[in-house]
Amino acid sequence: MNFKIILITVITVIFSANVSGQTKYEKEYRIKEKDAPDKAVSFIKKSFTKCKWYSEESSDGKTFEAKGKLNGYKFSIEFDTTGNVIDAEKTVKFENMNSEIKQNINKSLLKIFASYKIKKTQIQWIACDNTLHELISYGHSKKPYTLNYELVLKAKKDSTTKFYEVLSDKNGNILKVSEIISRPTDNLDF
Amino acid sequence: MRLTIFFFLIITAISNINAQNKTSAGVLPKTVISVKLPKNLKLVNIIELREVFFEKTDGSDVEFNYNHKLTDISALISLKRTPYKSFALGYRMRAEGNNLSHQIIQQFSVVQNLNASRVGHRLSADQTFKSDIISYRFRYRLSFEKPLNGNKIDPNEFYIKAGTEYLMKLSDNITSSEIRAVSLLGYEIEDSNKIEIGLDYRISNFLNKISDNAIWLNIGWYFKI
């Protein structure tokens, strides 16, 4: 009897919570290559032999993302719905970066955070398609392009430790800091 | 998934070492409702039932034998040191038949974010006060969670969760142990509201001649206010 009452109560609350819950719409899912824009697929095939494709839908619109590996580095290339490249990102190790840039980034971060630990570093390139191909293949190009650094940090600010995503320009000046909202961990903790 | 199969194979092998086994099967419904408090604290309320439907001892037939085995009601205060590290202290009341026992719980948990999955580690200890006897339990749980599609779990999306837990109990100078393995299908209704359903296999007294095996249909609901 106890079990029945609890089960009915739980089901009722689960569904009422779902109806009343106002959540920000965001959905990321794996797609097949044939479902990505043709222009994006052609771009990827010039540099990569194998890629995983994803689509992300949110209230801001829909984007496509290809994730692949080249020369031992992980790459992530984001496209709009027509297949135009938005940006390309290459995951690198912070300690392997140019020491002057590392110093500048560290200086900028210490102005914002009491302490921090860099968890992930990505080089972000924004450029035309041909330049991006050169950057992806060789890591440099003589043509004009925008280079930023995207960092994921575990950092302490106002005595609270949180995760942040930080965007800096090529000189290490901070352009944007956003807090990463972590998903609840109750189902792994209890 | 391979990890789950591996854990199941190990505990099945252990259960087969014994000459005689006692097996029970039933449902394990659990609700976990957490309430956010100031200063990175939260109050976690858990109600867990154990409903046995079938029992079998080696050499006998499976018998339908409904038995409300126990009710656990717990309240824990959890402090998040970082978004993925937390300490919790709490109290659990266990009603088993006409017996009531009281437990004090301490736990530390860490969640690791991998590229497309999360791994949870939980170290926990509890002390049970029942009549004049105090029992001590130490446990470690390893959990793995992965979306069925894409790299992250979004609202209205299914995911899988698998895990294993090792328990050691010390009571009246007698030591016993238990191994648990779960394989669950989860559904995230929204970030703070998810349900999980699947199999939970437990084996205890596996070093003795008669081991206890239990197969549960594990149903969990996690809700955050």
**CB-based contact A187 B82, cutoff 8 Å:** no
**CB-based contact B195 A14, cutoff 8 Å:** yes
Pairing of strands B20-37, B210-224: parallel
CA distances from B74 to B26, B131, B193 (A): 21, 19, 19
Do residues B77 and A151 touch, judged by C-beta distance below 8 A?
A: no
Under-50 pLDDT residues of chain B:
17-19
Answer yes or no: is A3 within a domain: no
Count of Cβ atoms closer than 10 Å to residue B98 Cβ: 5
Q: What is the pTM of this model?
A: 0.82
Answer yes or no: is A116 within a domain: yes
Answer yes or no: is A75 within a domain: yes
Answer yes or no: is A14 within a domain: no
Determine the Cα–Cα distance for residues B34 and B224; give it in Å rounded to an integer.
Answer: 5
Q: Which of A3, A26, A28 sits opposite B49 (nearest CB)?
A: A3
Distance from the Cα of B17 to chain A's closest Cα (Å) equals: 31
Longest dimension (CA), chain B: 57
Answer yes or no: is A39 within a domain: yes
CA distances from A12 to A19, B156, B221 (A): 11, 18, 12
Determine the Cα–Cα distance for residues A24 and A20; give it in Å rounded to an integer.
Answer: 13
DSSP summary character for residue A35: G
Answer yes or no: is A187 within a domain: no
Whole-number pLDDT of residue B207: 72
Answer yes or no: is A5 within a domain: no
Contacts of B164 in chain A (CB under 8 A): none
**CB-based contact B120 A14, cutoff 8 Å:** no
Residue B42: strand, helix, or coil: strand
Whole-number pLDDT of residue A19: 45
Whether pLDDT at A174 is above 80: yes
Tokens at residue A94, please?
């912070």
Whole-number pLDDT of residue B206: 75
Do residues A189 and B109 touch, judged by C-beta distance below 8 A?
A: yes
Whether pLDDT at A10 is above 70: no
Contacts of A13 in chain B (CB under 8 A): 223
Residue A31: give its domain's CATH number: 3.10.450
Residue B192: strand, helix, or coil: coil
Tokens at residue B21, please?
């086994």
Domain count, chain A: 1
Distance from the Cα of A104 to chain B's closest Cα (Å) equals: 26
Contacts of A7 in chain B (CB under 8 A): 29
Do residues B158 and A27 touch, judged by C-beta distance below 8 A?
A: no
pLDDT of A62-108, one tens digit each?
Answer: 999 999 999 999 999 999 999 999 999 999 999 999 999 999 999 99
Q: Which domain holds residue A157?
A: 24-181
pLDDT tier at A181 (50, 70, 90 boundaries)? confident
pLDDT tier at A20 (50, 70, 90 boundaries)? very low
Radius of gyration of chain A measured on its C-alpha atoms: 21
Answer yes or no: is A89 within a domain: yes
Radius of gyration of chain B measured on its C-alpha atoms: 18
Question: Who's near B119: CB < 8 A, 6+ residues apart?
Answer: B111, B112, B142, B143, B144, B145
Contacts of B44 in chain A (CB under 8 A): 186, 190
Determine the Cα–Cα distance for residues A84 and A62; give it in Å rounded to an integer.
Answer: 13
